[in-house]
Structure 1
């Protein structure tokens, strides 16, 4: 069969369905196979009726040269991703298929993640849409890298940057909320990544903590946008109408029949909700963590929330102002990603001071020191700004586990569509 088997082993020389070998796989993308270059001969061997490559790319509004590039960057590899990668472990699975950690056969220092999708388990249009988005996306430091695509008659495999730190969701569950000093560099990068995506006509449509991945398991790890399975290419004047994504982070206009659809500001709403969760440890529409799902949905669709909880008292005015300008029901009044990047809380080299007497620790070790009552004179350096030493008040410290409140709106799998 080509590609990756369910047990992560290279395919045998015979096809999986019998003695006859399966048709060859095809590699596509900017760096699908090291040392292999696209060729006219390889392009000629492309199956003309494969819906993955017969996308009507003109409908996306992308430049003609980009559309033609998508169809030309094709090379035959014969055995799918396992020709070039050893499978090391299974990183997870979902309705689409599985994700594996893999190592390049000829470059042992190169490790990647292989997202393997079974054609029979996913709509052709879904794979088609995700492929077009990934190829049009390009590269950005705030987005999980895309290195190409392999296809066989049974499976489609995306080669992606390996993220070793896991999901932001799991980090929050196990270690609690971020301080502003911890969150600001990561969320500045995410904001710039969103602005970049929107400038290329891409709406993510499923921003949530599960789709933000940490590069490493550390408090200062880079966080990158992942999973473009629901993303869509969009013209500047276009509106989308499909109901999809995760309701706890979906902008109100998606469910508002009175509005003519939604656009890129759908993503900035989700960014605002996530930032609120990251800084406080609770969902803005379920601050106490016990509301029924229908109540949370009603509050989200009507942008009913406030700054009344104790955690907000410790937050800086710029942080509150940014979130206030993002979690706005009317998209016309909501910040775009380009506007968001210029907000004072996210501006480069802007030192952030918490309110007087607020928790200001920048790593787990500070929580251990809090019992001594000693002032903090050291701080973890912000890679994008100066080191700031701040006083520490142990009486107001909330431990990381206390700064996380489970909510029905935060659980994985609460999807729309």
Structure 2
């Protein structure tokens, strides 16, 4: 979420909430998704809760085990009353988005949803390798070839979302999770807390996201609305960090907002001299302030950089 100072500077936009009908399934198999079929039944009847994996302002994440199959999952427990105004609608949007995206190879999987009084339990696949930000910090050295592998997965994940007309709206390294600790290329897109179904061009108008990654059309008061193209700006920022080792936009809240709106960033020679020109061209095309000319996910997958041979790709240290 945008920090409080940044939100105070930018103000708050409003958005019409979409109603999402929740359907039911009658029978579960090991690989099925249960679309709220267990509503009203106790979570504890089916799962044994384990270690805490993380927590936020109104949510906790635990490891859990299915009592019958012994399969291991992660469960996100949301305390609905602790959410901000409109939080219940946001939660429904998150669940609806995950259901719609359930066939995506690079999207975290949702299996079950339980509602118990003021609590919602979301049963999801367990991701055991941490997040991309931690991996970047731990790895210290990321070659351009390795970064391209990560970008390919990210482009494919965003393409799948956008084909379903879902805007994620919070793309950042912390929301890219590793399936396994020993595999840099086993990545899935997670945390759909800001996700929203796009019903038409410029149908979104809520100020949301993370300050350094948010697209200019979300911040600019003169823009009437935005759509899923905002995600590709954030992907451009992530790619910049992967290859350069630092964020393209930094500063105090008011200064940072203006840098983003104006698209004011540089490829500093100290960090970018050894990076291929095609990589920089691709980032430049993703960080277009006009979303109409911004690179799309399908265009990114077919750009020159993605087609370079391993020998043509530079190697470089991060940090």
Q: Is the shorter-chain TM-score for this pair beyond 0.5, marking a shared fold?
A: yes
Aligned to 1:353: 311
Aligned to 2:285: 325
- 2:173–2:238 Cα contact (<8 Å) kept: yes
Aligned 1:14-163 pairs, distance under 5 A: 34=29, 74-75=37-38, 78-80=41-43, 82-108=44-70, 110-122=71-83, 123-163=87-127
1:241 maps onto 2:213 in alignment: no
1:200 maps onto 2:164 in alignment: yes
Aligned to 2:216: 252
Aligned to 2:255: 295
In 2 relative to 1, CA 310–204 (structure 1 residues): closer, same or farther, beyond 3 Å?
same
Q: How many Å apart are 1:303 and its aligned residue? A: 0.8
User: Given the two structures, how large is their TM-score scaled by the length of structure 2?
Assistant: 0.84
SS of the equivalent of 1:282 reads coil
- 1:137–1:200 Cα contact (<8 Å) kept: yes
Distance in 2 between residues matched to 1:307 and 1:217, nearest whole Å: 31
CA deviations 1:141-179 (Å, max 9, x no partner) are: 111111121111121111111111111122223333521
User: Given the two structures, how large is their TM-score scaled by the length of structure 1?
Assistant: 0.65
In 2 relative to 1, CA 186–28 (structure 1 residues): closer, same or farther, beyond 3 Å?
farther
User: More relative contact order in 1 or in 2 (CA 8 Å, sep 6+)?
Assistant: 2
Q: How many Å apart are 1:223 and its aligned residue? A: 1.5
CA deviations 1:14-49 (Å, max 9, x no partner) are: xxxxxxxxxxxxx987799547999xxxxxxxxxxx
1:262 maps onto 2:201 in alignment: no
- 2:232–2:286 Cα contact (<8 Å) kept: yes
Distance in 2 between residues matched to 1:325 and 1:149, nearest whole Å: 39
Aligned 1:380-395 pairs, distance under 5 A: none
Distance in 1 between residues matched to 2:69 and 2:243, nearest whole Å: 40
Distance in 1 between residues matched to 2:168 and 2:113, nearest whole Å: 19
Distance in 1 between residues matched to 2:291 and 2:112, nearest whole Å: 35
SS of the equivalent of 1:166 reads coil
Q: CA RMSD in A?
A: 2.7
Q: How many Å apart are 1:318 and its aligned residue? A: 2.0
Distance in 2 between residues matched to 1:338 and 1:352, nearest whole Å: 21
- 2:101–2:107 Cα contact (<8 Å) kept: no
In 2 relative to 1, CA 353–118 (structure 1 residues): closer, same or farther, beyond 3 Å?
same
Distance in 1 between residues matched to 2:130 and 2:223, nearest whole Å: 37
Distance in 2 between residues matched to 1:211 and 1:318, nearest whole Å: 26
Q: Which has the larger radius of gyration?
A: 1
Distance in 2 between residues matched to 1:305 and 1:238, nearest whole Å: 26
Moved more, 294-303 or 258-267: 294-303
Distance in 2 between residues matched to 1:330 and 1:169, nearest whole Å: 28
Aligned to 2:181: 217
In 2 relative to 1, CA 238–299 (structure 1 residues): closer, same or farther, beyond 3 Å?
closer
Distance in 1 between residues matched to 2:271 and 2:233, nearest whole Å: 21
Aligned to 2:10: none
Q: How many Å apart are 1:345 and its aligned residue? A: 2.4
Aligned to 2:276: 316
Moved more, 167-176 or 152-161: 167-176
In 2 relative to 1, CA 29–313 (structure 1 residues): closer, same or farther, beyond 3 Å?
farther
Distance in 2 between residues matched to 1:322 and 1:107, nearest whole Å: 46
- 1:269–1:326 Cα contact (<8 Å) kept: yes
SS of the equivalent of 1:183 reads helix
Q: How many Å apart are 1:307 and its aligned residue? A: 1.7
In 2 relative to 1, CA 36–280 (structure 1 residues): closer, same or farther, beyond 3 Å?
closer
Unaligned runs of 5+ in 2: 1-21
